[in-house]
Each structure stands twice: as C-alpha cells, then as structure tokens.
Amino acid sequence: MTVYSDDISRWADVYFNRSKKTVENFGDVKVTYALFMRRPVVSAPKLAMDWLTAIAAERGTSIKIQLTHEEGRWVGAGEPLMYVTGQLSQLVDLETLLLQKIGPPCVAAWNAFTMCSDLPKVGFLAMEARHCAGREMAEMMAYAAAVGSERARRKSGAVGFVGNATDATAHYFGRDAGLGTMPHALIGYAGSTLRAAEMFHKTYPAENLTVLVDYFGQEIRDAIEVCKHFPDMASEGRLAFRLDTPGGRFCEGLDPAASYAVLDRNAPEAIRGYRTETELRHLIGAGVSVAAAWHLREQLDEAGFANAKIVCSSGFSPEKCNAFAIGEAPVDIIGTGSFLPERWTETYATADIVEYDGVPRVKVGREFLLRDS
C-alpha cells in the first residue's frame, strides 16, 4: 500500500499534523532534515526517495534530497543517510511514513550483503514475500535483497541473488518473471515425489526441474529415483533437489553421529574448532544442516549423478549462511526470505531537523548530524 497526499494525514503521527497547522498559522520556514540509523546498514534509499519525489510533485512544492551515501554503500551507525530540504509545512507531516520506507530496506540490504559475501559461489533466490506484512513491505524487501546482492558482487565477486519467487518484484533482479517449480502442495496432490516431477515436467517441458524431496522423509531415495527417471536432465545439470527438511527430524540416513561422520569426511575443520550451540545446530543438527547437504551430495555422486544440483531452504539467516560457509556446504542455490530484519527495533530510522532557514540548529546530543559548512 502506497500512501499519497490525500491520505497522509490519516497515517501520520498526530503531533506532526498539528505542527503542520501551527506552522501554517505562524509562518513557514525552510528546513533541512537529517535521516540516520543507530546501527551499520547498507544504503537502500530508492523507494523512499521515489516517494518523496512523487509527494513533491503532487503538492507542487520543492523537496531537495542530498544523498550522503549512494545506494549499496556502507553507512556507519549515526551517519546521516541523507539530508532532505524543503518547507517545514510540506515536510513535517511526512516523517512517519518516510521513516517506514528507510530503515527496513537498509537493514535487509545489510543482511543480504553479508549472506552473499559469506557464500560467494552460491546463488540466492529471494523468497521473502510470504514473510512480509503486505505488498509494500514485500517490495521493500525484494529491493533490499537486490541492493545487498549487488554490493556483494562488487566487493567480493559473489554470485548473489539470481532471482526471486514472485513476478511483481522480479525486475529488481533483472528478470521479467519470478522463479520456482513446485511447493509441497503439488507433491501431496501428486501422491509421490516422482509423480510430481513428471507432472511438472510435462506441463513445463522446457524448464529446468527443481524437486522438493523432504515431503515423505525420503530425501535420498526420492532424489535418486527422480534422477533415474530423468537421467539426461541430471547429466546436463538441469535437475536439482531442494532440501527443506523440517527441524523436527533429520534428513534421511542421518542422526547426530552420522552427521558428525559426514562432516569429518568432507569438512573436518568445521567441527574440530570451538563452535557455538547455534553453529553446531546448523552444522550437524536436524533439518537442513550442512551435514544434510553433504550427505545428499555424497549419495548423488555415488549413484552416478554428480551433475545434479542441490538447493537448500529453511531459515537461511545470516548466521545460518555463515555456518554453511564454515562447513563448505556443497550447495548451488539457497532459497531464503530470512534476510528480513530479525529484530524490528534495529530498523528504526530517525529524522531530526538540523537547519532552519539555513541556520544550523539541532537538539542537544544530535550535533553529530550537522552538515559540514
């Protein structure tokens, strides 16, 4: 939902509306706001700037935006992201909605950047829409993933986000449409993993095939059965298997001891140093762990399907991505919406006026926001 001029007063904090009326009664003044965050972020200002520009056009007023950190740049805690200058009567009632459009995408862009940087050889698929509170948030988060991904490409040559799950925001990833093959619902409908794969392939014969293999708790058996049915696609690298095993059980063939053994064979350093409880859960725990990815890779290779790809999903936050980097997990694609800010308090942006008619003035304690003369 995008709120424009005729509806702003309903969504603005009441004291901003009352300030607007007071200023209109006693005389307007040109002001400059500084917008900042209390934590490091990656600058993702486009949606906020586009909204300000649209509001200025609707109101027939001038709003000047001085961006201090270009899109995709690192911004330190307390550093102004931008300065916004205009008439106080035209800006004061915009603060509530403007801050909503600044903080969340900047934090999400930071998360996306760290995830892509930790796993530079892995492609990411943005699956944030289902976790968002409405369409506007979904657009902010998709945009943020694209910004963070581009920073990771620039800084470390990362593959980054290669697409997303919905058509509406695919353009942020340079695509005309979203990506995806089958949900668990289709497998339940088909009655077997193989049958679901057959049905999808018959419906979309030109598409690469990514098959969920956790529905029946037979990740290994179902993956190999599908490979045997589609050997050409497997050998051509057009067949992938998505691990989405729930955290209440281990992947087929694994338990704690077997998970340790898998990592000891493939990434021994991952379990021989000190690891936190959270890291160990991601490395050798139930659900989609590093051990699960290695186990599936071993079994596919042993069965002669070394070119079949592995896709992982289920709670891939920055912390989980870091654990997968530690364990050198053999993953080709990660599907995730967990670049969304985990603690919403970290997304709170703040705006303070730092100039009135060109005269520097800010509340005590915020002098660091004043512009250099």
Q: Do 329 and 317 share a structural domain?
A: yes
Which tens digit of pLDDT belongs to each residue from 298-353?
Answer: 999 999 999 999 999 999 999 999 999 999 999 999 999 999 998 999 999 999 99
As for how many domains the chain has, the answer is 2
Statement: residue 46 has pLDDT above 70: yes
> CATH number for the domain including 58?
3.20.140.10
Q: Do 176 and 264 share a structural domain?
A: yes
Evaluate whether 27 touches 355 at the Cβ level (below 8 Å).
no
Residues in the chain: 373
> CATH number for the domain including 160?
3.20.20.70
User: Could you tell me the pLDDT band of residue 1, with boundaries at 50, 70 and 90?
Assistant: very low
Q: CB count, 10 Å around CB of 227?
A: 21
Read off the pTM: 0.94
Q: Do 147 and 93 share a structural domain?
A: no
How far is residue 48's CA from residue 102's CA, in Å, rounded to a whole number? 6
Which tens digit of pLDDT belongs to each residue from 53-93?
Answer: 999 999 999 999 999 999 999 999 999 999 999 999 999 99
Q: Do 231 and 187 share a structural domain?
A: yes
How far is residue 17's CA from residue 34's CA, in Å, rounded to a whole number? 20
Which tens digit of pLDDT belongs to each residue from 218-276?
Answer: 999 999 999 999 999 999 999 999 999 999 999 999 999 999 999 999 999 999 888 99
Q: Do 328 and 209 share a structural domain?
A: yes
Evaluate whether 79 touches 69 at the Cβ level (below 8 Å).
yes
Q: Do 151 and 57 share a structural domain?
A: no
Q: Do 97 and 154 share a structural domain?
A: no
Q: Do 355 and 273 share a structural domain?
A: no
Statement: residue 291 has pLDDT above 60: yes
Domain span at residue 154 reads 107-336
Instruction: Name, in order, each residue with C-beta under 8 angstroms of 315's C-beta and a sequence gap of 6 or more.
Output: 247, 287, 288, 336, 338
The whole-number pLDDT of residue 6 equals 67
Evaluate whether 186 touches 203 at the Cβ level (below 8 Å).
no
Q: Do 235 and 190 share a structural domain?
A: yes
Q: Do 286 and 348 share a structural domain?
A: no
Q: Do 306 and 205 share a structural domain?
A: yes
Mean pLDDT taken over the chain: 95
Q: Do 297 and 157 share a structural domain?
A: yes
Chain-centre distance for alpha carbon 318: 10
